[in-house]
Structure 1
Amino acid sequence: MKIQTFDSAFNAILEPEEAKIMRYRSDMMSQIIQNIKKNNWSKDEAIEKLKTNKQTINFLMTGDISNLPNDLLEKLVATLG
């Protein structure tokens, strides 16, 4: 039996185009989380700086990508500058 390897978990379980979208979303989410951590923002500070709500910050910090649509992630990245 030959073992398959993949560039990402998304490639292993999704069709190529869908995997590409999920990697894009994951990259945006990581960028936002890294920025929050780099600046040592509390949840309240992150809400204020990102002009969002507590639920969105909770989804980000728990890695719940399914509840963060592309347009919201793009808006948050744009808010970071």
Structure 2
Amino acid sequence: MEWINVLESNLGVYGQLSAADQRELQEHILVFLTEKRFEGCGGLEMDDEIRVTIAAQACLLLLHREPAYYPTLRTILVYP
């Protein structure tokens, strides 16, 4: 899976971010994906596109901030 393609397709604002902000967002996404567990519900099969898209949305809120990767959040339940 190519992250950049997923971000460009599923995160409309990604192309409008500066190169530095894109790098920062990618770093946040990597940490988020490492720390959080994703669980598909209702028969949904999780894939990297879903994980990266959700992580990107969550990590947009962390740009230019001291990152606290949602410390009380451990598992993300994803419904179809």
- Normalising by structure 2, report the TM-score: 0.36
Structure with larger RCO (C-alpha < 8 A, sep 6+): 2
Structure richer in strand, relative to its length = 2
| Higher Rg | 1
- Normalising by structure 1, report the TM-score: 0.36
